[in-house]
Amino acid sequence: MKFIDLDRQYRRYRGEIDAAVKQVLESGQFIMGEAVARIEQELSGFTGARHAIATSSGTDGLLLCLMAEEVMPGDEIITTPFTFIATAEVIVMRGAVPVFADIEPDTFNISPASVEEKIHQRRRAGARLRGIIPVSLYGHCPDMDQINHLAQEAGLFVIEDACQSLGAEYMGRKSCALSRYGVTSFFPSKPLGCYGDGGMIFTDRDHLAEKLRAMRVHGQTERYVHAMPGINGRLDAIQAAILSAKLPHFEQELEARNRAAGLYAELLREKAPDIVPPVVRPGCTSVFAQYTVRIPGGKRDAAVRMLREAGIPCAIHYPIPVHRQEVFSCLDIPAGAFPEAEKAAGEVLSLPMHPFITPDEQEQVVDTLKRI
Ligand SMILES: Cc1ncc(COP(=O)(O)O)c(C=O)c1O
């Protein structure tokens, strides 16, 4: 059994993917060009965001947004301590300081109440608070209306880290198009993955889109004319073509992921009722980038052992909250500072999840888990 079965997916769409790659090879246009413009247009249509700017990765997409906001050393950005390191890493890459706010225990997403508290706390301390980066973890959006409202009141920008949530819905709108910026990732294991690194920024604002397009190519506004700082942050044409070949199947894949999530929830309820399945809030859908359960009572590590012994792959997203990572020891945040994030790190477990998982495979996973 595979944790995410990319082989099965490739075999299913092989003809279309191979033809798309061949077309790029024959075109001789490997950097930017038609394939990149096409996936930008397709995903702008898909998300409803006015602009889509393809990037070399989700990480570079997040970094470019901070560059577009001219985030400076010493500025402060509020984010979640329970995420992949890239979310906080880009903040320090600008010399800015991550200010963590604890998560909600049901969705594992940043809590608006904690964000509000942090805004007041840092404002009172005279800090240069600039923005908020909420993460749509595991494919489910946080309470973006509340977060946007708090940001607007405090004059902060919002970047939705939607690296795990392309395709998710929030109150009738699509993830990536919920705030000033949305950034997704096409890392191979993501719901819409390419065969290397890739990402995309979404925004409705024309002037920011123009700035981001320049910044992704060394700040270039005309050939060898550089008006602003930038990076090499482009998406490869081959990766763009692969994404366009996969995109027509994406909605169906999301339906299959949701069917599999429904079956997991049913099986867990029936056979392992102590294990807490993921929550989908009213008005939201999840793309289940990860199918992450909570195993309370100190039994998570035993569950990992049992699954591994049975040859079933699983993963922990994430075993160490960001504020407890060695790289952030300089922030001097003590253990216990974010109790919900720290508790989650000891209890979460991601089970095999992809559009091609079979009911038999899912039953095997839950039958093994029920023994704990
Ligand atoms: C929440 C989150 N943020 C950022 C990233 C970074 O994306 P990438 O790997 O494309 O740089 C990822 C993906 O790995 C992620 O899951």
125 pLDDT tier (thresholds 50, 70, 90): very high
Is ligand 1 within 6 A of the CB of residue 160? no
Chain segment 162-198, per-residue pLDDT in tens: 999 999 999 999 999 999 999 999 999 999 999 999 9
CA-to-CA dists, residue 59 to 87, 91, 219, angstroms: 7, 11, 18
Looking at residue 281, what DSSP letter applies?
-
| 297-336 pLDDT per residue, tens | 999 999 999 999 999 999 999 999 999 999 999 999 999 9
Per-residue pLDDT of 211-220, as tens digits, reads 999 999 999 9
Q: Give me the phi and psi of 159, to 5 degrees please.
A: -115, 115
C-alpha 96 to ligand 1 mean position (Å)? 19
Q: What is the pTM for the complete model shown?
A: 0.98
Nearest CA to ligand 1 atom 4: 86
Ligand 1 within 6 A of 139 CB?
Answer: no
Q: Give residue 195 CA to ligand 1 midpoint distance, Å.
A: 15
Which secondary-structure segment (H or E) carries 351?
Answer: strand 348-351
CB atoms within 10 A of CB 26: 8
pLDDT in the model for residue 372? 87
Spatial separation of the C-alpha atoms in residues 361 and 366, rounded to whole Å: 9
Q: What is the CA radius of gyration of the chain?
A: 21
185 close to ligand 1 (CB < 6 Angstrom): yes
Atom 12 (ligand 1): residue with closest C-alpha?
A: 163
Identify which of 82, 164, 287 to mutate to test ligand 1's pocket (most ligand atoms within 8 A of the CB).
164
Cα separation of 316 and 347, whole Å? 9
- Ligand 1 pocket check for 239: Cβ under 6 Å: no
With a 6 Å cutoff on the Cβ, whether 187 touches ligand 1 is yes
- SS3 category, 288: coil
Q: What is the tens place of the pLDDT at every residue in 62-93?
A: 999 999 999 999 999 999 999 999 999 999 99
Tokens linked to 332: 């001097």
**What is residue 245's predicted lDDT score, i.e. its pLDDT?**
98
Q: Which domains does the chain have, with CATH numbers?
A: 6-248 (3.40.640.10), 250-369 (3.90.1150.10)
**322-346 b/e with 16+ CB inside 10 Å = b?**
bbbeeebeebebeeebbebbbbbbe
Confirm or reject: Cβ of 161 under 6 Å from ligand 1.
yes
Best mutation site among 60, 64, 138, 163 for ligand 1 pocket (most ligand atoms within 8 Å of CB): 163
Q: From the CB of 84, is ligand 1 less than 6 Å away?
A: yes
What is the CA(39)–ligand 1 centre distance, in A? Answer: 19
- The CA distance from 80 to 323, in Å, is 9
Atom of ligand 1 nearest to the CA of 199: 10
Q: How many CB atoms neighbour CB 316 within 10 A?
A: 16
Asked whether the predicted pLDDT for residue 280 surpasses 90, the reply is: yes
Query: In this predicted model, what pLDDT tens digit does every residue of 240-277 receive, in sequence order?
Result: 999 999 999 999 999 999 999 999 999 999 999 999 99
User: Does the CB atom of residue 83 touch ligand 1 within 6 A?
Assistant: yes
Tokens at 182, concatenated: 């949305």
86 lines ligand 1 (CB under 6 A): yes
